[in-house]
Amino acid sequence: MSNRREDGAAGVTEADAGGGAQGGGLTGGPAGGPAGGPAGVSAGDAHLAHRVPELGALQLLLAVARLGSLGRAAAELGISQPAASSRVRAMERQLGVGLVERSPRGSRLTDAGVLVTDWARRVVEAAEAFDAGAQALRDRRDSRLRVAASMTVAEYLLPGWLIALRRERPDTAVSLLSGNSAAVVERLLADEADLGFVEGLTAPRGLRGAVVARDRLVVVVGPDHPWARRRTPLAPAELAATALILREEGSGTREVLDAALAEHGGLAAPLLELTSTTALKAAVASGAGPAVLSELAVAEELAAHRLIQIPVEGVDLRRALRAVWRSGQRPTGPGRDLLSLTRRVQ
């Protein structure tokens, strides 16, 4: 962990965070999702931004790791070498840990740097998803592919698709309209969109479509709810008889749930009605009661055990996710590319 810096004040180079090189990694954890996800963003530390380097710095760190040189990393990001040097040093001072081992032959990450870089990668990946989505939201009219997607698809799936699409067809400009399924259908019929994505039990009338994925609704409760300690699956009638926290009337999730429980007595009067999935999850997590949500919407919370999934027996809560288009307007060009992507990248 030698470091050429000799000045007193500046660099706190504690660097090495452990024994050997990262050779002996044995790893552990449960099956399924990306465990250990961060807890929810509630009130949260106000000064997070002061303790986490900004995106440019994190990207720079990734570039240094990949290219093995501050100078080359600087070039890739389009800044000067001294700027890169100073940014990395600022980051090291901010974190209180040496990240990069400089040598006249280049730069390598320290052990701590490897760890920090891995955490940084997650932030940058989230930022890329943000960017992909936001860009589609901006490029409104003048884009080659106009996509209309339901809220949840737009939120959870589309950014990943767009990144993959950009990787294969960098010149494709995509614009995104998002609303409920009815709005998606409307946009397609009005020729304001080329390709739509909706969820539901059946394909919308007047449109052609293809199932690109499946989804399931799950019953979730907060960790302190009595159900969280249940061992036996929930009976449909029991679910139907329970007051749930629900999205407002007209929500697709609620519709599907209604249909599934119709033969078991129908939904009980709701315990609470909320308008956003986020608010709903927060209410459930804080113990207000059980809710039924898309698996997709609660994957992170389940992995971090902020929410507990309760198995239900004897009810089919699966739904299809469909790509849809106007009859006779089977997608070509960029639309076809995106469509084929959705079959590979879920």
Contact set for DNA, span 71-100 (CB under 7 A): 71-72, 78-83, 85-90
Residues 45-74 that bind a copy of itself (CB under 8 A): 45-49, 51-52, 54-56, 59, 62, 65-66
Point out which span in 37-45, 70-78, 259-267, 329-337 binds DNA (CB under 7 A): 70-78
Q: Tokens standing for 197?
A: 């994505």
Q: Which does 325 bind (CB under 5 to 8 A by kind): DNA, a copy of itself, none?
A: none
Cβ-based nearer residue to a copy of itself, 72 or 237: 72
Cβ-based nearer residue to a copy of itself, 30 or 328: 30
Measured between alpha carbons, how far is 238 from 152 in angstroms, rounded to an integer?
Answer: 28
Task: Give the Cβ contact number of residue 204 at 10 Å.
Answer: 19
Cβ-based nearer residue to DNA, 89 or 247: 89
Point out which span in 192-200, 232-240, 263-271, 330-338 binds a copy of itself (CB under 8 A): 192-200
Residue type, 309: Q
Residue type, 177: L
> Which residues are CB-neighbours of 147 under 8 A, at least 6 positions away?
136, 158, 174, 175, 176, 177, 193, 194, 195, 196, 197, 338
Cβ-based nearer residue to DNA, 82 or 266: 82
Taking CB under 7 A as the rule, does residue 56 contact DNA?
Answer: yes
Rounded to whole angstroms, the maximal C-alpha distance in the chain is 76
Burial environment of residue 165 by CB neighbours within 10 A (0 to 12, 13 to 18, 19 or more) = buried
Q: How far is the CB of 334 from a copy of itself (least distance, A)?
A: 17
**Distance, CA of 320 to chain centre:** 20
Compute how many residues bind a copy of itself; rule: CB under 8 A: 141
Long-range pairs for 53-57: beta carbons < 8 A, 24 or more residues apart: 53/90, 53/91, 53/94, 53/95, 53/120, 55/123, 55/124, 55/127, 56/87, 57/87, 57/88, 57/90, 57/91
Indicate the helix (H) or strand (E) that contains 294: strand 291-294
Q: Which does 114 bind (CB under 5 to 8 A by kind): a copy of itself, DNA, none?
A: a copy of itself
Taking CB under 7 A as the rule, does residue 229 contact DNA?
Answer: no
Taking CB under 8 A as the rule, does residue 34 contact a copy of itself?
Answer: yes
Cβ-based nearer residue to DNA, 94 or 309: 94
- DSSP helix/strand/coil, 291: strand
Cβ-based nearer residue to DNA, 80 or 286: 80
Residue in 134, 132, 137, 135 with CA at minimum distance from that of residue 177: 137
Q: Which does 300 bind (CB under 5 to 8 A by kind): DNA, a copy of itself, none?
A: a copy of itself
Q: Which does 135 bind (CB under 5 to 8 A by kind): DNA, a copy of itself, none?
A: a copy of itself
Q: How far is the CB of 104 from a copy of itself (least distance, A)?
A: 22
Contact letters for DNA, residues 2-21 (x by CB under 7 A): --xxxx--x-----------
Q: How far is the CB of 278 from a copy of itself (least distance, A)?
A: 7
Residues 13-32 that bind a copy of itself (CB under 8 A): 14, 17-32
Q: How far is the CB of 288 from a copy of itself (least distance, A)?
A: 16
Compute how many residues bind DNA; rule: CB under 7 A: 29
> Which residues are CB-neighbours of 154 under 8 A, at least 6 positions away?
133, 176, 178, 197
Measured between alpha carbons, how far is 194 from 9 in angstroms, rounded to an integer?
Answer: 60
Measured between alpha carbons, how far is 257 from 280 in angstroms, rounded to an integer?
Answer: 16
Residues 105-124 that bind DNA (CB under 7 A): 105-107
Summarize as ranges the residues that interact with DNA (CB under 7 A): 4-7, 10, 54, 56, 69-72, 78-83, 85-90, 102-107
